[in-house]
Structure 1
Amino acid sequence: MFFDHTKIFVKAGDGGNGSMHFRREKFAPNGGPDGGDGGRGGSVYFEATNQLNTLIDYRYKQNFSAESGESGMRQKMHGAKGNDVILKVPCGTIIRNAETAELIADLVEPGQQVMVARGGRGGLGNVHFATSTHQAPREAQKGEPGEEHWITLELRLIADVGLVGYPNAGKSTLLSVVTAARPKIADYPFTTLVPNLGVVEVGHARQGDGFDFVLADIPGLIEGAAQGIGLGHEFLRHVKRTRLLIHMLDGSLVEERDPWEDFAKINQELRDYDEQLAARPQIVVLNKIDLPEAQERWPALKAQAEAAGYPVFAISAATHQGTQELMQFAGDRLREIKREEEELAAAQVLSLENAPVLRPQPDDAFSVIKDEGVYVVRGKRVERAVSMTDTESEEGMDRLERTLEKMGVTKALEIAGVQVGDVVRFGKVELFWGE
């Protein structure tokens, strides 16, 4: 089964709690604090691999969690780090934040990795809070919660050239002729229900001028595909990575359709789905030229395509007529496109030399808003400080109060109108102001 998009939940491991422990040995009854730090929680990664070609592994399991870190122990012993989770996905997988649709990564090369949820930091043991005037701190940090997100995965096939056209135009037959792929072929529409890939070899490898490229047979599109009619939305995404399109047209008179009208309708569907798709270089191909009716249509179609600026070929996939010439032309055109892309990339690198430098927002930045009577404080550092504070510890709460004051959070809340007893939310933690 070809499964090319899904939504999953990932949760990194929480950091282990710091230990609040004091040495109580026979000859050191008041040995002072020796609580160790908690271990960092495991993180969640995605890694691209060539061993998979669908996302079927994520159809029946959508929740993945990394291991939490262990708590610190006496004698300043640190807790163990939680194990990471590495999720394998096919090359060509796009990873986005499900809530914001923000692009996290586009994994195209085998072995590429990206962290999607960072493990929480381990809490500090009470040994870190000892000072010359406070030698027996009864305070230790909680572990930081691990990041968690809903993630969308979308697979887009990595192919250089895509075969598009109406169902039963002969795309699968052409793929089987010019590559080693063996797609299902039958004389009825929608024979192809999943994209098929094959490698085309052109030129002469022994003479040093050989060249190969990946050819994808995209299942037949129909009118309304961009709106999800038929198999449209399921497979239009796979056209987006291709550099060149071979637009197959049916030269037979089975359904009394005009091939050029079919060409215009499919291009409109590509345009409706993504403006850039319709602008992709295309080669117009009239298939089934071995039939008399196709031969009658060829002169008019050839004139229309050339007038519109498209290279045009007449082939018969069934009898192999013209297929090698078509593949040779496609290979040559593809090499031209790649050279143009390299030149454009080089020009963009030069233009970036004078581009403005974008600096990330500092960790201690925060915002305060009032939402339905609750004051909500958002900010990476302040949320971490609150989540790692043991709210049952008086010393810990005193330290948090000083931290919030130093960061300017206290003043910001007072300006926003906070009163004693109001609820203030820091991430997932809610406190009563003045508590």
Structure 2
Amino acid sequence: MNWGVLIVSAGFILHLNIIGYLYSYNLLHIQLKESFNSTATEAALPGSISIAFYAVSSLGVTWIFQRFGDRPAGFLGITLCCVGLLTSSFVQEIWTLCLTYGVLYGFGCNAIHLVTIDMIVKYYKGIKTTRCIGITMTASSIGVLLSPCLEWLYTTFQWRISLRILSGVFAIVCIPCMSLFREKKDNVTPRDIVTQKQENKTRRNMSLFQKYIEMVRIPAFLCLVCSYAMSGIATTFSFVSIGSFLTESGLSGTQTSLILSTMGAGDLVARVSVSLLSHWLPISITSLYAIGHIVSASSMLSLPYAVNATFIMVILIVFSVSRGIIFVLIASAPIEIAPVHSSVESVGLVYLVFGMCALSTPYITDNVYDITGSYNSAFFICCGLYACSSFFLFAAVHLNKNMIRGNSNENCQYNQIIVNREESKEYSKEVVSRVTVI
């Protein structure tokens, strides 16, 4: 039996539960705002911090599983998630949730996410890696589809007892899944050892800091970083505060959970479709990523003018499709723009920027609601952020094409010089031959 199938299946279940719940914070946001009688900004902060730490803790998590192994790092992630939910159920101040739910749960999610990807990469190579990672990542969208179940849990037991129940369920389900993560034993040949030594020597020639400096100096990648900064703010808002907007619009808890569930369906369809069709489209990955931001901007611009629940649902479904495109390509765009030897580091850098900017989301969007009493201004802000983000992405595509064209010309000139040198050598040999004959 191929053990890699079990790895992918276990990763799917882990993402369905842990990451799916991370992206379902909209419902908990409503519960916290009512329970603590807090402002929208205060209630949104734990969710935005958890999503931010889900991105910015990548460097620390990478060091942990490289130092201690994938399985111990994965168990650490599950422990942090369960402990974070359990301790969150006992807090009496909403600011404490920023630590228990925001930091602990977000860090734990990142550990589970990166360990799963690392295990899949070890078991599968080439196009199979992309497919298997895509299958695993779709589980988080399916987790959002279960929003009606989560709404029933909150309504029946209230949010404190619900967090305790979820903590126990996650431990029972996820610990056996993580137990399936075992290292792959390959037959290593002497040639593989030599190749690995050469790769390690190449990596040591350029430090991590030097690679970051090199990437930032590339105009196309710098535009990409600016795009991720703005996208991080706007996208985090959709995961944290859309539920609060639906409640303030007069929709019931059942209607809110239904709309969030349909958004999860749209997100899932987009992820699967883009994963299967992106290689067949006549545009670059970064261009498709930019189009997703344009659709998101249009959706955010339309929400303030929605007159009924049906119109709101249609707009949010369209938005969820574009959000699915954004998240399925979030790691592919930097790989396309960055140098080949820095592809992994480029993903880590843009994730870091995305997560750091996600921390400011409540103060930029929900704070506007606390001041004005309406989310309309927040939607306009997110529309502007998505529009500017798409502009920087198209600029990155243009600059990258010019850079590739320039490198091609340089390579042609270099090749021509080599050819001229070879011709000169041949001519010299011919002259020497003739002189020798004479």
Q: Same fold (TM over 0.5)?
A: no
Compute the TM-score of the two structures, normalised by the length of structure 1.
0.26
Larger radius of gyration: 1
Which structure ranks higher in relative contact order (CA pairs < 8 Å, sequence separation ≥ 6)?
2
Higher strand share: 1
Higher helix share: 2
